[in-house]
Amino acid sequence: MNKYSLWLLPPKGIQLEFSEIVEKYSKKLNFPSFEPHATIVGEFEGEKNDVVNKISSVTNISKKIAITISEISISTTYFQCVFARINPTPRIIDLQMNVIKALDLKSSNFFMPHISLVYGAYPSVVKYEIAKEINLKTKEFQAEKLCLINANDYDPATWEHVAEFELK
C-alpha cells in the first residue's frame, strides 16, 4: 500500500511565481526544493485505483476554487516553516471534508489552508525575516486542479504526481 497526499495546485503562471520563491530560499538555506501546493489531505494510505476512483467521485461534482492569500506566516513545523496563508472559504473546507469522507479517513479537526514557501527547522527570527522579505505579486487566483502525490517518504525529491483531477 502506498502513502499519498492530495494537493490543490495553482495555475501554471502562479505556480511559477511561487516556485521562484521556493527556489530562492532553497538555495539560500540549503533545503530541498518542492512544488508549491496547498495540501488538501496530508499523508494517507490506499491502493492507487481505489484512491483515484474515490477522489474522482468528489472532483466530478467540485467546482473551481477562488483562492485568496491573506498573509505570509511562519510556524514551528518543518513543512509549514514559512507559508502563504489561504483564506479558509467554505468551498475549500467542503472540498477537504468531502475528500476525507470519500476516502473514509479520520478527520483531523484542524485544517489551515496554505501554500508552503520554505521547509525547514530554523530559528524563529530567521523565519520571520524571510516572511518579511516575501512579497507575492499574486494574492488571488482560481484553483482548477487537484493532484494526487505519491508521498512514501518525507523527501520532496521523491514525490511524484500519480493522478490529476480537474475541478469543473
- In this predicted model, what pLDDT tens digit does every residue of 16-75 receive, in sequence order? 999 999 999 999 999 889 999 999 999 999 999 999 999 999 999 899 999 999 999 999
CB atoms inside a 10 Å sphere around CB 97: 15
If one counts every other C-beta atom within 10 angstroms of the C-beta of residue 76, the result is 9
**Sequence-ordered alpha helix ranges (H) in 60-134:** 90-102, 124-133
Residue located via cell numbers 523565519: 127
Of 72, 75, 68, give the one whose Cα is nearest residue 132. Answer: 72
The pTM of this model reads 0.94
pLDDT in tens, 117-154: 999 999 999 999 999 999 999 999 999 999 999 988 88
pLDDT for 9 equals 96
Amino acid at 55: I
Strand 82-86 with 145-150, pairing: unpaired
What CATH number is associated with residue 69? 3.90.1140.10
Specify which residues 41 forms β-bridges with: 6
Is residue 19 within 8 A of residue 35, CB to CB? The reply is yes
Straight-line distance from the first to the last Cα atom of the chain, in angstroms, rounded to the nearest whole number? 30
Domain residues for the domain of 102 are 2-166
The number of distinct structural domains making up the chain is: 1
Contact 119, 101 (CB under 8 A): no
